[in-house]
Structure 1
């Protein structure tokens, strides 16, 4: 196993969670998931073994921007790296995600090599 820390995937589409989990587990990463930002924040508060979050930016109720803001303003969660994953790949979207507090940005469909590169940089 590459790392003892878990990767939390927060996405409202279970197909995206399944695809990302399958790829990451094949690379020996431990993954857990949440189907909403609220559920993801609860997992973050209760699980101290999460090393990085893959955050879908467009979700109902609470989007990724709001969820990242909540994480970064929480003393316990602020240092956990977040990779924004979004179908929005327009000019300025990457910057908007980084300004919101994301540590990295990947557009959908996810380029697995880019994701693995980012994970290697962010997980100690």
Structure 2
């Protein structure tokens, strides 16, 4: 059986390392991007991606801006996007879901 492939989008390599280690221990394959712009380029291609974990607080383009752009890529519109954020304030989950995320996870994972 083919492993599910998760795209991790985060500007902090420590977070990418931690998420990758956790997911690989659960038999997932991982690919990562250090920016939303890099991820959008990857997602416009034919790279296999079964789900996306995206940090909501990144420089240049944050997750709130990137999620609608990801969802507008025709062949990615059904790909689950899960927002990952250190902010666990009241209303943050709703804000992530309003941006188009399919689910929300707060750090640390």
With the length of structure 2 as denominator, give the TM-score of the two structures. Answer: 0.94
CA distance in 1, matches of 2:50, 2:66: 16
Aligned to 2:98: 99
5+ residue gaps, structure 1: 111-124
CA distance in 2, matches of 1:97, 1:51: 20
Shift of the alpha carbon at 1:105? 0.2
CA distance in 1, matches of 2:47, 2:78: 12
Shift of the alpha carbon at 1:6? 1.0
Aligned residues: 109
CA distance in 1, matches of 2:80, 2:26: 19
Post-superposition Cα deviations, 1:60-86, rounded to whole Å, max 9, x if no partner, equal 000001110101222222111100000
Pairwise CA RMSD of aligned residues? 1.2
